[in-house]
């Protein structure tokens, strides 16, 4: 992932967190009296409820999850950051629905109405969804590129070696061992490479001669897989 893109995302997230914090002091909703079952709309001094007063635990936990997410992204722990971001989205969503529920279900004494702070919260909610969805797309595309690199490397190595450690393959393709192991198992299952993986020793035994004989077919399968991935992106 490009550093400039990540920097822009972090700046946007920081601004959103500041905005989220400010909603603690903004009026989220207001209440008016109901006398004998009739709402008094000309009540000149409605009671305002700020975010700090009306936020149930979901709102506060959402703010905390967003802070932790930004820290995780700063430390380049992007998957953890995205998970925390979506936790923040879910918690804040519950909080907003709770506020709407209060407004749609007035008590015998009070009628609740949304105030401008709620719409600021709603805008922040939508922006959080957009940013983390964008991050998720970037992560998925990065993962596809990593898998593509691993597949191509394994096919090349399968014609040159009879046995390799996962560590050796990782040094060749510069990808992490978990992606390599997962990709090798998938390739063996789909007959994209003639090999056997040994989980106990973390080694791969290649049928070198079969891979050499079938190299054109194996590369054809790889190109077909690569074309399918590009088609999904479009």
Q: Lowest-pLDDT range, 42-46, 55-59, 124-128?
A: 42-46
**Is residue 164 over pLDDT 60?**
yes
For 133-163, the pLDDT digits (tens) are: 888 888 877 778 888 888 888 888 888 888 8
Cα three-residue angle 58-64-68, rounded to 5 degrees: 140
Check residues 69 and 110 and name the one with the higher pLDDT: 69
pLDDT of residue 2: 58
Beta bridge partners of 47: 31
**Segments of 76-181 assigned E as strands:** 110-114, 163-165
Mean pLDDT of the 109-114 span: 79
Longest dimension (CA), the chain: 90
pLDDT band at 39 (very low <50, low <70, confident <90, very high): low
Check residues 86 and 213 and name the one with the higher pLDDT: 86
pLDDT of residue 55: 67
User: What length is written for the chain?
Assistant: 234
CATH for 3-141 is 1.20.140
Q: Do domains 3-141 and 146-233 have the same CATH topology?
A: no
For 50-80, the pLDDT digits (tens) are: 776 766 656 778 888 888 888 888 777 878 8
pLDDT of residue 103: 84
Predicted TM-score of the model (pTM): 0.67
Average model confidence (pLDDT) for the chain?
80
pLDDT of residue 77: 80
CATH topology of domain 146-233: Arc Repressor Mutant, subunit A (1.10.10)
Q: Label residue 128 exposed, middle or buried (CB < 10 Å: 0-12, 13-18, 19+).
A: buried
**Percent of the chain residues topping a pLDDT of 70:** 85
Are the C-beta atoms of residues 31 and 47 closer than 8 Å to each other? yes
Question: Structure tokens of 223?
Answer: 């190109």
Q: What residue segments make up the domains of the chain, in order of their start?
A: 3-141, 146-233
pLDDT of residue 43: 47
- Residue 221's nearest CA partner among 193, 197, 194, 184 is 193
Question: For residue 128, what are the contacts with CB-CB under 8 A and spacing of at least 6?
Answer: 16, 66, 85, 88, 89, 92
């Amino acid at each position: 992932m490009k550093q400039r893109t990540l920097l822009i995302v972090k700046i946007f997230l920081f601004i959103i967190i500041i905005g989220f914090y400010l909603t603690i002091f903004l009026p989220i909703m207001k209440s008016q009296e109901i006398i004998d079952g009739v709402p008094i709309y000309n009540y000149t001094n409605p009671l305002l409820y700020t975010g700090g007063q009306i936020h149930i635990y979901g709102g506060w936990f959402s703010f905390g999850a967003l802070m932790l997410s930004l820290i995780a992204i700063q430390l380049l722990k992007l998957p953890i950051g995205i998970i925390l971001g979506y936790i923040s989205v879910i918690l804040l969503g519950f909080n907003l629905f709770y506020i709407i529920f209060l407004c749609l279900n007035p008590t015998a004494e009070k009628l609740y109405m949304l105030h401008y702070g709620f719409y600021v919260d709603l805008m922040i909610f939508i922006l959080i969804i957009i940013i983390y969805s964008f991050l998720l797309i970037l992560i998925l595309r990065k993962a596809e590129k990593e898998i593509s690199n691993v597949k191509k490397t394994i096919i090349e190595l399968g014609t040159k070696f009879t046995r390799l450690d996962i560590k050796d393959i990782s040094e060749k393709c510069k990808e992490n061992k978990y992606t390599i192991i997962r990709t090798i198992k998938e390739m063996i299952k789909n007959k994209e490479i003639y090999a056997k993986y040994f989980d106990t020793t973390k080694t791969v035994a290649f049928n070198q001669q079969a891979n050499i004989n079938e190299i054109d077919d194996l590369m054809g399968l790889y190109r077909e897989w690569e074309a399918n991935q590009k088609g999904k992106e479009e």
